[in-house]
Structure formats: structure tokens, C-alpha cells
């Protein structure tokens, strides 16, 4: 077996070994090891988390994202709080036990409004994940007290200079502080990165994986960067899907019981085949989009998002068929991380 792989499996984690796995031309052994560890630690059940994109207003200016405030071409929408709660109620027959609410950084969603929505959803017996960006400790505390179980806030890249360039007015340090605050409050934290950002190095991706290990995140989404035509870096190339797959596999081997989604961006570049590959190389989470159809086109973080025209009940049928082919089943639990 590859020596670096052996080291990492045995718990000797170094950046050098991670890097040497990321540059492998043939990573079959790494995928196989990740698949085995995935089965041992999180089993054959796939965690299914429905996601509702509740608003595409955003005050941030991230150069990679189609929702950036400077994108004047994008038509903006915002669901009403009642619409959000009603959509979750509507989704009950789908049978998923956990819902993610995501929005651009939109100040319409005051603590009071968010907490009221969370409480109403908790009454319907769902685990709740929020993904609303950087907020104060106090706000996260209110979210938690209302019943929020998890929060998604990817660190995107640990290259501080690149971060400053791509996220004007924001900082890597503050991002990590937000994640630490969430963790402190007992909220499960989802982080993640994009792969293939212009100027990003392999070396920094190895650092990202070291950071996953140090921060011991509960969920980690690793996506290829997909350029959006109406952004400053819209002429760049998409991220390398094989590198994404290697990064997911290495992350599984290192963090063992972590939740790793088949990211929508990965499926966008690779559709059905891609989902099967990821599920066989360490991934154990799929996030079906249940945003009302009339808003889908407008939540354009990047173009041609996978399955964006597929109605949720139709998607569920497709998902069941896919999981059957992969020899996997749908989890009926709330999908909390179970630490080993």
C-alpha cells in the first residue's frame, strides 16, 4: 500500500502525506480505503437533507458567487416567513427528517424572524440547519436557543491572501471565529472549501484538510469551483473533479465519522455518474433542493445547478433508484454526527 496512505489510515496525519495523496494520478487505493472507512464509521445509510433557498439577496461581494451584491443582472427574491414554514410542512410526505435553510447574507432575516421560523419547524419534528453567513455570537446563541441543531459556514479557502481577494471586506480569521462560536454554543458546524479557485494552490488545499482535522468539523462540503459568467472571475476554469474526489476521500480517511455531502456543484459537473462515484469514495450525504420551483432560477450561485428543474417528489424517485444502484439506503434519522 502507498506509504502516505498507510500513515494516514493509522492516524499519523501530516500535510506532506496529504499532499502526496492529492497529487496521485491513480488514486484507486485511496477511494477504496475511504469507502471502507465510510462503511465502518457511518454505515451504508445516506443522510438526506432537504434544502430551501429562502432568499438570494446578499450584502457581500464574493468574487466567485453569482449572488454577490454587485450582480445587477440577477432578479432578487425573498420568501416570506410563512412561505418558508409552509414549504417545510408541504415537504413532510417526502419523509426527510432534516431541513437546511439557506440565504444570501440578507438583513431582512432578523433574529426574531429566524427564531420564530426555527421554532415552528422544530414543532414539525425536523432537525434544523441554518446557513445565513457570518453573524454575532449573540445571534448564534439566539438561533441555538430557538432549537437550531446545525449551521453551515464554509471556510472556502484557508489561503488568507486569496480569501481577502475573493471576499472583499471579509476575513478568514473572522470566518473561523464564527465557526468557533457556533461550536462553543453546541451547534454542529459544517465547513468546506471550493477547489479550483483562481490562484489556489495544492499546498493550500492540503492545509485546508489539516484545518478540517484540527477543527474537527461535523460536516464538510468540498465542491469544485464553477465560474459564473456575471462575476469578476467568470472566465476562469472549473475545478478539477478528480481532485475534489481525492480531497473528499482523504478527508473521510482522516475524520472517519464526519458527514460528507455529494456537493451539488460536483453533481453539476458530473451528474448521475458523479454522485455514484462520490458515494463510493467517502461521501454519505445528499442534499435535495426543495425550494419552490418559481425561485430556483434565481438562486444562481453558479450556472446550470444540478437537478434545479426537478420537482422534489420526482427527485425522490430518482434518488431512490440511484441509491439502490449504489447498494445504499436512505437514513430515517435526524442525521446528527455520531462521534466515535
Least distance (Å) from ligand 5AD to the CB of residue 306?
A: 11
Region of 81-89, 222-230, 272-280, 330-338 interacting with ligand 5AD (CB under 6 A): 222-230
Q: Is residue 225 a contact residue for ligand 5AD (CB under 6 A)?
A: yes
**Core vs surface per residue 12-36: b (16+ CB within 10 A) or e:** ebeeebbbbbbeeeebeebbebbbe
Tell me which residues in 228-257 interact with ligand 5AD (CB under 6 A). Answer: 228
Q: Is residue 156 a contact residue for ligand 5AD (CB under 6 A)?
A: yes
Rounded distance between C-alpha atoms, residue 330 and residue 53, angstroms: 22
For β-strands 98-103 and 127-131, DSSP reports them as parallel
DSSP symbol at 68? -
Q: Is residue 316 a contact residue for ligand 5AD (CB under 6 A)?
A: no
Nearest to residue 128, comparing CAs of 105, 109, 107, 102?
102
Bridge partners (DSSP) of residue 78 are: 55
Candidate list 56, 148, 179, 223; residue touching ligand 5AD; CB under 6 A: 223
Candidate list 226, 241, 249, 255; residue touching ligand 5AD; CB under 6 A: 226
Q: How many helices (H) and strands (E) does the chain have?
A: 13, 9
Candidate list 42, 46, 51, 65; residue touching ligand 5AD; CB under 6 A: 65
Candidate list 301, 307, 312, 323; residue touching ligand 5AD; CB under 6 A: 301
Q: Is residue 154 a contact residue for ligand 5AD (CB under 6 A)?
A: yes
Q: Is residue 300 a contact residue for ligand 5AD (CB under 6 A)?
A: no
Q: By the 8 A CB rule, do 151 and 129 touch?
A: yes
Region of 73-81, 179-187, 198-206, 220-228 interacting with ligand 5AD (CB under 6 A): 220-228
Q: Which residues lie below 8 Å from residue 289, measured CB to CB, with a gap of 6+? A: 50, 51, 53, 264, 296, 305, 307, 308, 312, 315
DSSP H helical segments within 10-99, as ranges? 15-22, 28-42, 81-91
Candidate list 189, 302, 306, 319; residue touching ligand 5AD; CB under 6 A: 302
Q: Give whichever of 2 and 131 is closer to ligand 5AD, judged by the CB atom.
A: 131
Q: Is residue 194 a contact residue for ligand 5AD (CB under 6 A)?
A: yes
Nearest to residue 21, comparing CAs of 40, 37, 35, 34?
34
Q: Give whichever of 109 and 225 is closer to ligand 5AD, judged by the CB atom.
A: 225
Query: Which residue ranges make up the site for ligand 5AD (CB under 6 A)?
Result: 64-65, 154, 156, 194, 223, 225-226, 228, 265, 301-302
Amino acid at each position: 500500500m502507498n506509504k502516505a496512505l498507510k500513515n494516514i489510515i493509522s492516524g499519523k496525519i501530516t500535510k506532506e502525506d496529504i499532499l502526496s495523496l492529492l497529487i496521485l494520478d491513480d488514486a484507486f487505493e485511496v477511494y477504496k480505503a475511504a469507502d471502507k472507512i465510510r462503511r465502518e464509521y457511518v454505515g451504508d445509510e445516506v443522510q438526506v437533507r432537504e434544502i430551501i433557498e429562502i432568499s438570494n439577496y446578499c450584502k457581500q461581494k464574493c468574487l466567485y458567487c453569482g449572488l454577490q451584491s454587485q450582480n445587477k443582472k440577477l432578479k432578487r427574491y425573498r420568501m416570506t416567513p410563512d412561505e418558508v414554514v409552509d414549504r417545510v410542512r408541504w415537504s413532510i410526505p417526502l419523509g426527510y427528517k432534516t431541513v437546511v435553510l439557506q440565504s444570501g447574507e440578507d438583513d431582512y432575516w432578523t433574529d426574531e424572524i429566524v427564531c420564530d421560523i426555527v421554532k415552528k419547524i422544530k414543532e414539525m419534528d425536523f432537525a434544523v440547519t441554518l446557513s445565513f453567513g457570518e453573524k454575532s455570537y449573540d445571534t448564534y446563541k439566539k438561533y441555538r436557543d430557538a432549537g437550531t441543531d446545525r449551521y453551515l459556514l464554509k471556510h472556502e479557502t484557508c489561503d488568507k491572501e486569496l480569501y481577502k481577494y475573493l471576499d472583499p471586506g471579509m476575513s478568514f480569521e473572522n470566518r473561523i471565529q464564527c465557526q468557533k462560536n457556533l461550536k462553543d454554543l453546541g451547534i454542529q458546524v459544517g465547513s468546506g472549501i471550493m477547489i479550483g479557485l483562481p490562484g489556489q494552490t495544492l499546498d493550500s488545499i492540503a492545509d485546508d484538510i489539516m484545518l478540517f482535522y484540527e477543527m474537527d468539523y461535523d460536516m464538510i462540503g468540498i465542491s469544485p469551483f464553477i465560474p459564473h459568467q456575471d462575476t469578476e472571475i467568470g472566465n476562469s476554469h472549473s475545478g478539477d473533479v478528480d481532485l475534489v474526489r481525492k480531497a473528499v476521500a482523504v478527508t473521510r480517511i482522516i475524520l472517519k465519522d464526519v458527514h460528507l455531502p455529494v456537493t451539488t456543484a460536483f453533481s453539476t459537473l458530473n451528474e448521475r455518474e458523479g454522485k455514484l462515484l462520490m458515494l463510493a469514495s467517502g461521501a454519505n450525504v445528499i442534499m435535495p433542493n426543495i425550494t419552490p420551483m418559481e425561485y430556483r432560477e434565481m438562486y444562481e450561485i453558479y450556472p446550470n445547478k444540478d437537478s434545479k428543474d426537478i420537482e422534489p417528489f420526482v427527485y425522490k424517485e430518482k434518488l431512490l433508484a440511484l441509491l439502490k444502484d449504489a447498494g445504499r439506503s436512505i437514513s430515517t434519522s435526524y442525521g446528527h454526527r455520531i462521534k466515535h
